[in-house]
Amino acid sequence: MKFYSKTDIGKKRQTNQDAVEGRVVSHDLAWTVVCDGMGGINGGDVASKMAVNRISESITQNINPYIEEKEIISIMKKAIEAANKDIFEKSKSHEELKGMGTTVVLGIVIKNNLYVMHAGDSRAYLISGPGIKQIGVDHSIVQEMVDSGEITAEEARNHFQKNIITRALGISDEVKLDYNKVNLKNEDVILICTDGLSNHLEDREIYQILCREELRSIPRILVEECNERGGKDNITVSLIKYEE
């Protein structure tokens, strides 16, 4: 397996409130975590880095290629919940960090399976064969409006409430998480990103870039393309390529 990532401040923001970590541990194990912080210039930056550090530490200590799915789910959930508690407690004890939080997407590849757990509107995609597919759904106001039929998916892209999320780490002492499992085929690519990417590029555009560019260059090229279109937000891209 291969892993590549890049995070960038973009063209408009004063700080980069995104954070990313990941690694290939062995032929049968790789993982990555992406977070997009919120809560002011200081708060978002602190929350995303706290989450990535705590989750990375927990996954490194507890995940191996030989455990069963039930245990994998438990480890992922405990890691994210611990990060949620850390952020929530720190926001309560530091006035300047009050209200901080972060999205999270944690992806783990063990053998030919991908396990994803997330909260918020950062995304995981599977690029497999002739197409690209989002894994799970955004936890956002506009996604709920799409689900209810109030607006179309196209209208959601430019809706004035598109940045309002309904789940995040650090907002309360508990967080609701979505879990998905995907069976992988040889040369499938997992792409995890913040909305700084998905708000600038449509899924088909992301797919076209993945098809024509060398894997190690793709995070940089995606970031550059977002910045050419205005770079209104921080941009983070993380890739894992599964190889049998």
- How far, in Å, CA of 124 to CA of 136, rounded? 8
CATH value at residue 167: 3.60.40.10
CA torsion 100-105-110-114 (nearest 10°) is 160
For residue range 1-40, what is the model confidence (pLDDT) as tens digits?
999 999 999 999 999 999 999 999 999 999 999 999 998 7
User: What is the distance in angstroms between the CA of the first residue and the CA of the last residue of the chain?
Assistant: 8
Residue whose pair of structure tokens reads 């069976």 in the numeric block:
183
Structure tokens at 174: 């508990």
What residue ranges of the chain have pLDDT lower than 50? none
Q: How far is CA 178 from CA 20, 84, 118, 119, 142, in A?
A: 19, 15, 6, 7, 17
Q: Give the ranges where the chain is alpha helix by DSSP (H).
A: 40-62, 69-93, 141-147, 153-157, 195-198, 203-212, 218-228
Q: Distances from the Cα of 22 to the Cαs of 59, 75, 176, 237, in angstroms?
A: 10, 16, 23, 11
Q: Which domain holds residue 131?
A: 2-241
Determine if residue 227 is left, alpha or beta; phi over 0 gives left, psi from -120 to 50 gives alpha, anything else beta. Answer: alpha
- Write out the two tokens for 241: 């390529």
What pLDDT score does 156 carry? 75
Share of the chain above pLDDT 70, in %: 99
DSSP 176-201: --EEEEEE--TT-EEEEE-HHHHTTS
78's tokens: 């405990």
What pLDDT is stored for residue 100 in this prediction?
Answer: 96
pTM to 2 decimal places: 0.95
Total residue count of the chain as it appears in this document: 244
Question: For the chain, how many structural domains are there in total?
Answer: 1
Quick one: pLDDT at residue 41? 67
Which pLDDT belongs to residue 101?
A: 97
- Rounded Cα gap, residues 110 and 108, in angstroms: 6
Q: Which amino acid is at 36?
A: D
Output the pLDDT for position 125: 98
Is the separation of the CB atoms in 100 and 118 below 8 Å?
no
Nearest to 234 by CA among 194, 202, 201, 200: 194
Are the beta carbons of 106 and 30 closer than 8 angstroms?
A: no
